[in-house]
Amino acid sequence: MSQVVFVLVPGLHLLDLAGPAQVFSTASDLGCAYRSVYVAEQPEVTTAQGLPVRADVEWPQPGTDDLVVVPGWRSPRLRPHPLHPDGARWLGAHHARGGTVASVCAGAAALGQAGLLDGRRCTTHHDLQDELALRYPRATVVRDVLYVVDDRVVTSAGIASGVDLALHLVALRHGPSLAARVARQMVVYARRNGDEQQISAMLRFRSHLDDVVHRVQDVIDARFTGPLPLAGLAAEVGVSERTLTRSFAAATGTTPLRYQQLLRLESAERLVSHGATAEAAARAVGFTDARMLRRLRARS
């Protein structure tokens, strides 16, 4: 079981904490074993919204598979030293051991205090980006993005973008299909990160709330290497072929067949990048030969 350790600072925003916590809790409900741990320098932390939350004062020693997340707090400016020096050293030590450290909104200042932003790309809430760049001149502050990943240091823009950050971490660990299922359970969009030009089709075509189309995509995601006739897909979700075609196009802008082909193409390209020949990769993902793979590559 992996731990997600949330480091709580006085005045923290509830959504900065609750959004990512809900993502990992939902992932756990779907079969991924996560345990959330809440630590702080005092046993009770008052949030910006006035609700006090309880936390452990004995900080754990997370393993390399564990995540540490620092939610943001309400402040017109970044705090120069949001953590006690021992807490900052604890953050840095977790990353040095191979662990992942993430922040939401102003939580980036805690990562900066720990020295984790030096020489790395990062982001924070748009109101705080100038100050972050001034306070940590060795960091490269990326603007107008939801989150930035750089060598196991993950920073997000703030508030709701903490959900995007957590979904991204779930996708990295368990695949984009599981992340899409989490987003669907939470009734949120599996949004793309503005810092990346490409993202898996499993997430790229999931930014909708049509339950029938999501269920069809679940089927295609699980069986995209095999034949999936439209009639069979429609029967699995209990609608007509015409209704499925219309709903799928309205929700995703493409067709079930095209969606399946994109999944095959991405899978084949991963195989080729790991040394497989185009012919072998094409057959592994369900094409009869490499000609269709080359045609899809040319059209993408």
The CA distance from 270 to 268, in Å, is 5
Delineate the domains of the chain, giving CATH numbers in brackets: 2-181 (3.40.50.880), 208-299 (1.10.10.60)
pTM for the full model?
0.76
The helix/strand/coil state of 181 is helix
> In the prediction, which pLDDT does 231 show?
97
Q: Judging by DSSP bridges, how do beta strands 153-156 and 147-150 pair with one another?
A: antiparallel
Contact 165, 148 (CB under 8 A): no
> In the prediction, which pLDDT does 300 show?
67
The CA distance from 84 to 181, in Å, is 38
- Report the candidate in 176, 206, 13 with the shortest Cα–Cα distance to residue 105: 13
Average pLDDT on 253-277 reads 90
Mean pLDDT of the chain: 91
Tell me the sheet residues that pair with 5.
37, 68
Q: What is the DSSP string of 106-133?
A: GGHHHHHHTT-STTSEE---TTTHHHHH
The CA distance from 128 to 156, in Å, is 12
> pLDDT digit string (tens) for 45-77?
999 999 999 999 999 999 999 999 999 998 777
Measured in whole angstroms, how far is the alpha carbon of residue 133 from the centre of its chain? Answer: 24
Contact 178, 32 (CB under 8 A): yes
> pLDDT digit string (tens) for 203-216?
778 878 888 999 99
- Report the candidate in 3, 9, 2 with the shortest Cα–Cα distance to residue 104: 9
Residues making up the chain, counted from first to last? 300
Residue 200 pLDDT > 90: no
The CA distance from 270 to 276, in Å, is 9
